[in-house]
Amino acid sequence: MKAIGVMKADGLALSLPGFRQFSLGGLALRCGERDIPDPAFDPESPEGAGVAAVDVRTVSVNYRDRAIICQGMVSARTNAFLAFGSEFCGEVAAIGRAVTDLTVGDRVIGVFAFPEPVAEGHLPGVVSNHCSVGRLVLPACKLMRIPSAMSDEIAAAFTLNALTVTAMLRRLRLTAGERLLVLGGGSNVSLFASSAASARGMDVTVVTTSARHASALADRCGGRVIVLDDPSGGLEGCTELMADVNERGLYAGVVDPFMDVHLMQAPLVMDQGGRYVTCGMARQIDGDAVALAVDSERLAAVFYTHLMLKNLTVMGNCLGTLADQQQALREWEAGRLIVHLDHVFGSGEELEFLERGFLDPDRLGKVVYRFGT
Ligand SMILES: NC(=O)c1ccc[n+]([C@@H]2O[C@H](COP(=O)([O-])OP(=O)(O)OC[C@H]3O[C@@H](n4cnc5c(N)ncnc54)[C@H](OP(=O)(O)O)[C@@H]3O)[C@@H](O)[C@H]2O)c1
């Protein structure tokens, strides 16, 4: 089975054809494609009864995969090969004898329901952090068939953000016309959130630190885009945002993928009874910069005071429920949840795939790798 993965730069990878060097979080790594043995799977055995073998066709990477690769490679043995990625689309290649709701040839994605597992005795959350191994052997209940109109590429780019954003919008409970502020506008989470919220009729404003993405973001989110031109001043130092609030009013909801960047200042621009939801942090590996430093005086004046006086609700969010994932698929079929693809790479382009996915500031949307091309 063909797999793609990373290895330390100075060991066996030096002699593997096609393995090329790059740097991630200060680590010298090589990445490429190699043949690895298929995982063991006996559909007739008791352990294999409820299980399916899936041949991965496409895989995408996200912000969290960077951290997982770096953490894994710091402590990895010299010649260890680390496959990566939690978002995939694959074809069912074989099923255990007790599997009734999947058949060979079905195209599937993972079920990431969290914190409630999809079925008793199964772990909640992503199905694997190593989907680029090529063949996955997974409990059938952790797999979901996709609509025939959904391409393998869109499917690999769909699951994590579609689920998380559907859950976050559910928890924000905003109605059409209410004002929503989406921070970290160029992130995939925010691309999904801003276009889904616009499709539901919310009045969306997107904040980005990337001026070069402003017009593309305006096209994609269907709302206003504000460029945070001095990230060290944070939201408070952004004159355009403050002018927007003065003109149009405070925000009823905030979606923020980077709480360590924006949480302390978001209450400033939130309305009475407003709700803020976050799903992550910017600083996940060494070298990730978080520009904003908040001293304790500002913390009290801005965060504590506004939180209390405005009766705000601050929510953390991780993934979502099975019902959220099912709803996200229906929203996609109805054209109300857009998957923004940046680029699709294929065999021989493993380095370009990871560099575009993890390191390129020009990326806007999901980066996908297709096996066998
Ligand atoms: N818990 C969950 O269920 C869950 C699910 C999905 C994602 N997440 C989290 O959500 C976050 C975003 O993930 P993603 O895959 O969507 O990210 P991504 O697409 O890789 O985000 C890249 C964009 O994020 C913004 N950004 C990155 N670093 C920043 C920093 N230090 N300060 C300010 N902005 C920064 C920039 O946007 P601009 O150029 O527009 O400023 C950048 O273009 C991560 O923290 C991830 O772990 C969590």
Task: Say which range, 49-53, 181-185, 297-301, has the weakest mean pLDDT.
Answer: 297-301
Cα 193 to middle of ligand 1, angstroms:
12
Domains of the chain plus CATH, in order, are 2-145+340-370 (3.90.180.10), 168-316 (3.90.180.10)
pLDDT for 315 equals 98
Q: DSSP secondary structure string, 76-119? A: --TT--B--BSEEEEEEEEE-TT--S--TT-EEEE----SS-SS
Under the banding of pLDDT at 50, 70 and 90, the label for residue 283 is confident
Ranges 70-79, 188-197, 291-300, 307-316: which has the least confidence: 291-300
User: Quick check: CB of 261 below 6 Å from ligand 1?
Assistant: yes
| Of 61, 63, 229, best ligand 1 pocket probe by most atoms within 8 Å of the beta carbon | 63
15, burial (CB in 10 Å: exposed 0-12, middle 13-18, buried 19+):
exposed
Ligand 1: which atom is nearest the Cα of residue 161?
6
The Å distance, Cα 106 to ligand 1 centre, comes to 32
| Per-residue pLDDT tens digits for 111-161 | 999 999 999 999 999 999 999 999 999 999 999 999 999 999 999 999 999
Distance from C-alpha of 161 to C-alpha of 341, rounded to nearest angstrom: 13
Whole-number pLDDT of residue 323: 98
Which band of pLDDT confidence, cut at 50, 70 and 90, is reported for residue 40? very high
Phi, psi of 299 (to 5 degrees): -55, -45
CA 118/CA 128 separation, integer angstroms:
15
CA of 258 to the centre of ligand 1 (A): 6
Give the pLDDT band (50/70/90) at residue 37: very high
Which residue's alpha carbon is nearest to atom 30 within ligand 1?
282
Assess whether the C-beta atom of 214 lies below 6 angstroms from ligand 1: no
- State the DSSP H helix or E strand holding residue 253, giving kind and residue range, or none if neither: strand 251-256
Atom of ligand 1 nearest to the CA of 191: 16
pLDDT digits (tens, 9 = 90+) for 358-367: 999 999 999 9
Closest atom of ligand 1 to CA, residue 283: 31
Residue 91 scores a pLDDT above 90: yes
- CA 36 to centroid of ligand 1, rounded, Å: 32
Residue nearest to atom 20 of ligand 1 (CA): 63
329, 147 contact by CB (below 8 A): yes
pLDDT category at 231 given cuts 50, 70, 90 is confident
Rounded CA separation 205/183 (Å): 9
Cα Dmax for the chain: 67
356 Cα: distance to centroid of ligand 1 (angstroms): 14
The residues near 285 (Cβ < 8 Å, ≥ 6 apart) are 24, 25, 66, 67, 70, 71
> Is any atom of ligand 1 closer than 6 Å to the C-beta of 184?
yes
